[in-house]
Amino acid sequence: MSALQPAAQEELAALLDSLEIALLNLENGSPQATVTGLRLLVRAAQLLGSFTHLPEVQRLQQEIQHLIAQPETLHPQHVRQALQEAHQVLEALAQQLPGLQVRLLIVEPDDGLADLLTTMLQTAYRDISVVHTADEAKQFLEKTPVHLIITELLLPDLDGRSLLLWIRRHPPTAQTPILILSDRISSAVKAECYALGADDVLEKPFDPAEVSLVVASMLQRAMVRHPGDPLTGLPGRAYLEETFARLVQLHRQTGSPFCVACIELDNLTALNQRYGQHVSDEVIRQTAWQLVRMLRAGDILGRWDTDTFCILLPDASETQARMLLEQALEALQTEPMLVDTNAPPVSFSACIVPIGQTAPPSLATLIQQAQQCLKKGDKGGKIYSLRANIDTQPHILLVEDDPAIATLIQIRLQRDGYKVTHFANGREAAEWAQTHIADLVILDVKLPGMDGFELLAHLRQLPSYSAVPIMMLTSLSQEQHIVRGFELGADDYIVKPFSPVELSARVRRLLQRQAPQLAVV
């Protein structure tokens, strides 16, 4: 059997769902179903071009060519028969492709209804899992990527709307299609479900044909809108490039930091040759899920190529991006893969590309540059930074309640080429730091809301600020204050009144010390 590339496998999954929709529409007498079915048959013939050596494929292609050649004699029954045969042939191919697997999760407390839905929706390429409570659903989704979630609202442990909200706030499932299938759904409840992120809402008792059609349509739209890799469930190139363009525009408007990371698995070819395709596929899948678990809300992970992942990291400085990759690398190297082999721990090499305020190249160009960087460097758990032709602007968080001093510092740092975010209140700065990352922090001690020492301790407890340089700038010159600052994690301590030139030099020294070289780790 000829192999299908990941993109062709994605098309196969989407086409199977499209064929199912067309067959249901033909049964319902839709006037456009015949024309749509014929178009799908042409797509099927193109996709099956690699399998013309199979007798069933040859017969199907001859039938499709006959229908296309004589459109004046086109009859819905002929199209229906060809669609049914195409669906059977493609499903048979799907069964022989272990990487092609569309995963569905059903959250339904009623065993009988769960069994009915599973029977209705089961196909050769769909892997359907059932859980009965919201807690079970959360545990499942923490470990396994899915392409579609079907959930009841009346759950034993939690209102389904709360589960819906959790799903939409959970980064790996933020874009996953959700179908609400529940009893006694009023117009107000339906509107609320849509507002919380549901893609469709149906009421029980349901029409099996309608549910099948809705599920097939949602999966088909998901594969087109979010053409995920069938093996990992991650977005593909098209979605990554579209999202990258949107994030670049946002980055240029706000000035917030933005990085792209290119990750290549080390020695995947050798692993495949020694243990087989099924083991390397499982390593790729588990690696993808480990990476997803390490990311923050808003980060986007996709599979770019066979052994290459791409991560879009909005609101992440180069320091933050490096820290995330280091944590992911450590997790992969210490947590064994769940495969039946003695394969060594998985490792990867990565290249971080910080995006500046000037218009960056396309994502494809950036990934190509990153891959060239990785090709030149040493493999095996190395993390590189690519700054060539990339404009970067270090981001400094300044917390100072004296307006005159704050203005002086901002003017000096901005003149040095830094982006400065200023707060006069310690608590407001702490809230900002929960969702933003700076390359360096300058803190006064006497602050309203939360004093500088409290804020310093708070920042050091945040994973994203554990390694960020922090400078204390204060009028407190007693030895116990200076000692306390360093004990709480300060990297430098300047006493007011200060020299702006000295401040600028110290900031530059801390940033240079923090900036990664081409190869670290």
In Å, the largest CA–CA distance within the chain is 96
Contact call for residues 109 and 27 (beta carbons, < 8 A): no
Q: Can you give the pLDDT at residue 188?
A: 81
Residue 222: the pLDDT is 63
pLDDT of res. 175: 76
Please tell me the total number of residues recorded for the chain in this structure: 521
CA 201 to chain CA centroid, Å, is: 25
Q: Specify the pairing of strand 258-265 against strand 148-151.
A: unpaired
**pLDDT tens across the length of the chain (521 residues):** 444 554 555 556 666 767 777 777 777 666 666 666 666 666 677 666 666 666 777 777 777 766 666 655 566 777 777 777 777 777 776 666 555 567 899 999 999 999 999 988 887 667 899 999 999 999 999 888 888 999 999 999 998 889 998 888 776 787 788 999 988 888 888 888 887 888 889 988 888 877 877 887 777 666 555 556 767 777 777 778 777 877 777 776 677 788 999 999 887 777 778 877 777 787 888 788 778 777 776 788 888 888 889 999 888 888 888 888 888 888 777 766 655 556 666 788 899 988 875 656 778 878 888 888 887 766 667 888 775 334 456 889 999 998 888 988 988 888 777 889 999 999 999 999 887 888 899 999 989 989 999 999 999 888 778 778 999 998 888 888 888 888 888 888 988 888 888 888 888 888 766 543 333 33
Q: What are the tokens at 28?
A: 């319902």
How far is the C-alpha of 130 from the C-alpha of 106, rounded, in Å?
5
Q: What gap in Å lies between CA 358 and CA 132, rounded to an integer?
A: 51
Parallel, antiparallel or unpaired: strands 300-305 and 308-314: antiparallel
Pairing outcome for strands 178-182 and 148-151:
parallel
Three-state DSSP string of 23-66: HHHHHCCCCCHHHHHHHHHHHHHHHHHHHCCCHHHHHHHHHHHH
pLDDT of residue 517: 36
Q: How far is CA 205 from CA 113, 152, 183, 184, 226, in A?
A: 10, 12, 7, 9, 30
Query: Is residue 216 within 8 Å of residue 24, measured between CB atoms?
Result: yes
